[in-house]
């Protein structure tokens, strides 16, 4: 059996697809760079390691975001530290026993959180374990998976490291009491598959069975296939006719997939509908623009793929800041009404705006950070080897060869 040198516990929760995607990205990059040197475990802490009612957090989230006001209300109420700090202390007192059992079973050498509600409680549990001799001192790292507007509970001054995706997030970390050396800006961790070379756009279109001579618009409704997808396709078909094709990713929305697959558009616009796909990187590469809600993961992936981005909606609060990020960086637009969405697309694809459209794609590519996941993983690898991390000791450990270097 291969020797496992260090175990890394990634704490996520399936609230939206993004946290899981980030955890998977980190795990895949560890595997690629270090093989079996690290044993990376991904655990849904709320669902699998806390008692009721906390184990229903993921279900509650999906209910709340569908009822925007409820979500907005709890998000805003929890922002100030004087509210969330005592609240999470109370939660700690109710879940710490189960969490302690989880730590005893999993025995991590480094804990990584990719979730806004997994700082205060786990850090408190870890500290008490270290104090009572149940655990060696180990490091705790937060990898922020929101792009811009982040809830304050992401930031805990006692986290060893906090990896942020944007300068804006970095400022939020500072405002929440983190010190400069604790905060590291690499970008959002995106699955390594997005940074691998692919054939030309035309060849990719052919490989996916798309029309090779028409621009392709990728319409993504998130993992759940939400939003006014069908209406949007209808409007695009009406306004753009056979001058483009649309690929609709319906996610887990089976009814929508069925309806779109059966529909024929009189304008002759080719429409390809798919369910949840694992090769979304290939579809992005084959496409010429994307329409999506303002999810951080999808935006970061679209940037790596060099796509102009038309945002058609957002989860209240944490995705709001992603809209100005896209618009002000000149890589896209925001519009929720399907007829207007079709108008914007028509202008993007018109010969008059061709130059600006190409520029949008170039700016998008330039903003993408495909290397972020590797940089984060390299830093995490170091953190797993150096208990009670300080810059000096980490550097010494690397120089003394105590920290394995990436093998590839
Ligand atoms: N996704 C996918 N296949 C699909 C639909 C979505 O792999 O068919 C992925 C998408 O690439 C992204 C994630 O699901 O990585 C969605 O994350 P995002 O942060 O955009 O939104 P969330 O679902 O977290 O609100």
Residue 396 banded pLDDT, cuts 50, 70, 90: low
Residue 2 DSSP one-character state:
P
The count of other CB atoms within 10 Å of the CB of residue 203 is: 13
Residue 18 Cβ < 6 Å to ligand 1: yes
CA of residue 177 to ligand 1 center, whole Å: 31
Q: Is the pLDDT of residue 77 over 80?
A: no
Beta strand 139-143 with 183-185 is unpaired
Residue-level pLDDT at 407: 45
CA of 278 to the centre of ligand 1 (A): 10
Confidence of residue 392 (pLDDT cuts 50, 70, 90): very low
Give CA–CA dist 116/132, Å, rounded: 27
Confidence category of residue 73, pLDDT binned at 50, 70, 90: confident
DSSP state of 215: -
Q: Angle formed by the axes of helices 391-399 and 372-385, to 10°?
A: 90
Q: CA triplet 11, 12, 17: central angle to 5 degrees? A: 160
* Residue 225 pLDDT level (bands cut at 50, 70, 90): low
Residue by residue, DSSP assigns 34-100 as HGGGEEEEEEEHHHHHS-TTGGGHHHHHHHHHHSHHHHHHHHHHT-SHHHHHHHHHHHHHHHHHHHH
119-143 pLDDT, tens digit each: 999 999 998 898 888 888 889 999 9
Query: Considering only 174-178, 323-327, 349-353, 395-399, which range has the smallest mean pLDDT?
Result: 395-399
Q: Which residue has the tokens 């798919």?
A: 274
Ligand 1 neighbour 222 (Cβ under 6 A):
yes
What are the φ/ψ torsions at residue 337 (nearest 5 degrees)? Answer: -85, 120
Is the pLDDT assigned to residue 279 strictly greater than 70?
Answer: yes
* pLDDT at residue 1 is higher than 80: no
pLDDT at 386 over 80: no
CA atoms within 13 A on the CB side of 86: 4
Looking at residues 282-308, what average pLDDT do you find? 96
- Cβ atoms 165, 188 nearer than 8 A: yes
CA separation for the pair 299, 291 (Å, rounded)? 10
| Ligand 1 geometric centre to CA of 91 (Å) | 29
Tens digit of pLDDT for each residue in 144-177? 999 888 889 999 988 989 999 999 999 999 999 8
ipTM of the complex model = 0.97
Q: In whole angstroms, what is the distance from residue 336 CA to residue 97 CA? A: 46
Task: Check pocket membership of 16 for ligand 1, CB cut-off 6 A.
Answer: yes
**What is the per-residue pLDDT for 391?**
42
Is residue 109 within 8 A of residue 138, CB to CB? The reply is: yes
| Distance (Å, whole) CA 265 – CA 373 | 41
On the question of pLDDT at 183 being above 50, the answer is: yes
Beta strands in 303-375 (DSSP E): 309-311, 332-334
Kindly give the distance from the C-alpha atom of residue 174 to the centroid of ligand 1, in angstroms, as a whole number. Answer: 29
- Residue 172 CA to ligand 1 center (angstroms) comes to 25
The residue written with tokens 């130059």 in the block is 355
Task: Tell me what the mean pLDDT of segment 351-371 comes to.
Answer: 96
| pLDDT tens, position by position, 80-125 | 888 888 888 888 888 888 899 999 999 999 999 999 988 999 999 9
pLDDT band at 281 (very low <50, low <70, confident <90, very high): very high
Nearest CA, atom 17, ligand 1: 18
Peptide bond preceding 55 in cis form (omega within 30 of 0) = no
Question: Where residue 408 falls among pLDDT bands split at 50, 70, 90?
Answer: very low
Evaluate whether 206 touches 212 at the Cβ level (below 8 Å). yes
- According to the model, what pLDDT value does residue 398 have? 57
Question: How much is the average pLDDT of 344-351?
Answer: 96
More confident residue, 65 or 397: 65
CA of 25 to the centre of ligand 1 (A): 12
Average pLDDT (43-67) is 79
290: pLDDT strictly greater than 90: yes
Q: What is the DSSP letter of 247?
A: E
Binding site membership of 219 for ligand 1 (Cβ less than 6 Å): no
Q: Looking at residues 323-342, what average pLDDT do you find? A: 96
pLDDT at position 397 over 70: no
Query: What pTM does this model have?
Result: 0.89
Provide mean pLDDT across the span 263-269: 88
Question: Is the pLDDT confidence value at 393 over 60?
Answer: no
pLDDT for residue 2? 52
Q: In what order do the strands lie in the sheet with 161-164?
A: 38-44, 6-12, 110-113, 139-143, 161-164, 183-185
User: Mean pLDDT for the chain?
Assistant: 88
Residue nearest to atom 24 of ligand 1 (CA): 18
């Amino acid at each position: 059996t291969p020797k496992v040198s260090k175990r890394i516990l990634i704490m996520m929760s399936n609230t939206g697809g993004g946290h899981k995607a980030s955890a998977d990205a980190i795990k895949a990059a560890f595997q690629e760079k270090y093989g079996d040197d690290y044993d990376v475990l991904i655990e849904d802490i709320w669902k699998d390691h806390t008692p009721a009612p906390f184990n229903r957090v993921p279900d509650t989230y999906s209910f709340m975001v569908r009822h925007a006001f409820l979500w907005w209300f709890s998000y805003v109420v929890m922002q100030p530290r004087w509210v969330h700090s005592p609240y999470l202390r109370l939660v700690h007192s109710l879940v710490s026993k189960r969490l302690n059992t989880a730590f005893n079973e999993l025995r991590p050498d480094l804990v990584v959180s990719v979730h806004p509600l997994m700082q205060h409680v786990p850090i408190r549990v870890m500290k008490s374990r270290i104090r009572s001799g149940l655990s060696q001192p180990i490091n705790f790292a937060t990898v922020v998976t929101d792009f811009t507007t982040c809830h304050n509970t992401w930031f805990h001054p006692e986290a060893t490291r906090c990896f942020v995706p944007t300068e804006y997030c970095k400022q939020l970390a500072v405002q929440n009491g983190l010190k400069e050396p604790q905060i590291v800006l690499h970008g959002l961790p995106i699955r390594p598959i997005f940074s691998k070379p692919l054939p030309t756009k035309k060849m990719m279109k052919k490989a996916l069975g798309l029309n090779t001579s028409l621009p392709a618009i990728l319409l993504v409704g998130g993992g759940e296939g939400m939003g006014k997808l069908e209406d949007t396709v209808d409007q695009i078909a009406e306004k753009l006719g056979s001058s483009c094709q649309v690929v609709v990713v319906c996610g887990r929305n089976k009814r929508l997939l069925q309806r779109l697959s059966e529909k024929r558009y009189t304008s002759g616009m080719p429409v390809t509908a798919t369910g949840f796909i694992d090769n979304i990187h290939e579809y992005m590469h084959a496409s010429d623009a994307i329409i999506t809600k303002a999810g951080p993961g999808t935006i970061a992936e679209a940037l790596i793929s060099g796509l102009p981005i038309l945002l058609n909606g957002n989860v209240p609060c944490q995705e709001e800041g992603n809209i100005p990020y896209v618009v002000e960086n000149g890589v896209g637009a925001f519009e929720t009404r399907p007829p207007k969405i079709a108008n914007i697309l028509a202008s993007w694809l018109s010969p008059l705006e061709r130059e600006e459209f190409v520029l949008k794609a170039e700016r998008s590519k330039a903003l993408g950070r495909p290397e972020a996941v590797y940089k984060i993983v390299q830093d995490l690898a170091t953190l797993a080897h150096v208990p009670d991390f300080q810059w000096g000791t980490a550097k010494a450990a690397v120089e003394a060869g105590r920290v394995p270097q990436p093998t590839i």
